[in-house]
Amino acid sequence: MKTKIIVIVGPTAVGKTALSLDLAQLFEAEIISGDSQQVYRGLDIGTAKVSPEEQALIPHHLIDVREISESYSAHDFVTEARRAIETISQRGKLVIIAGGTGLYLQSLLEGYHLGGQAPHQEVLAYRKDLEKLSDQLLFEMVEEARIEIKQINRRRAIRALELARFGQDLSNQKPAYEALVIGLNDERSQLYERINQRVDQMVEAGLVAEAKWLYERAPKAQATRGIGYKELFPYFEGEVTLEQAIEQIKQNTRRFAKRQLTWFKNRMQVDFYQLSDPTYREKIIQEVKGFLHD
């Protein structure tokens, strides 16, 4: 029997952390972070990391597991998330994964083989070419390649063509989990307003000092690529004003939220709930209950 897990996805600032904490308390769960930046020690404000009080309330995993000078990949996430899921499940607890890094979550849920870096880059390049094509052209390519796909859709067609081109080296491992993927979304204007408010709150909480700390210690590290940090580097170098840097953070975060939604809608099977629905939490709780008792 596959291990059942709950996965909460959605754009940044939509409320994934709050929902994960609510569900964890209701269903005796532990939480795994599905965020590529929260792995870094010392990057707390800009990554909207759960507070020490929240971590004390509910055990969290894959937070503060890397130094800012270290790298982190989808392969690292899948390996460490699988280990955490096994440990949590052995304690008889439900696993909740909450985060917005789509590639990491998809790789875990679909069992992607994440071997050598060179073939992986080739696959990404080929995938980008396929994504430019219409559904009709993709389906015709699948038919010409004599690939049989039940209930064909765009995502399955692209994956099948990748396998046909690159062979068994890219074969997925059989997914080990039965996942209920819950998506949160909101009206775009409301989401963007929430993003702007969050950035202002981060600045008030000390984001500039945190970014300066990162800038002085590891200015070229992978950790500096996160939104909320890289935009402040030109300010430290005297190239822009603080106000301009903050506005750039807000703009880049809004764009990132849009890309996140596109990823989850096109690449993963997600049931989305709208925050504008006053009953969305109750509906989610009922869905989780049904999923766990099915």
List binding-site positions for substrate: 12-17
Q: State the amino acid at position 101 in one-letter form.
A: T
Annotated binding site for ATP: 10-17
CA-wise closest residue to 281 among 23, 33, 11, 4:
23
Q: Tell the burial category of 128 from Cβ atoms under 10 Å away from its Cβ (0-12, 13-18, 19+).
A: exposed
Token pair of 165, please? 């081109």
CB 287 within 8 A of CB 184: no
Rounded to whole angstroms, the Cα distance separating 71 from 79 reads: 14
Rounded to whole angstroms, the Cα distance separating 259 from 250 reads: 14
Annotated binding site: 10-17
- Quote the crossing angle between the two packed helices 242-267 and 154-166, to the nearest 10°: 90
Percentages helix, strand, coil for the chain (3-state, rounded to 5) are 55, 10, 30
CB 34 within 8 A of CB 104: yes
Long-range contacts of 225-228 (CB under 8 A, 24+ apart): 226/36, 226/37, 226/43, 226/46, 226/47, 227/46, 227/252, 227/253, 227/256, 228/45, 228/46, 228/47, 228/199, 228/202, 228/253
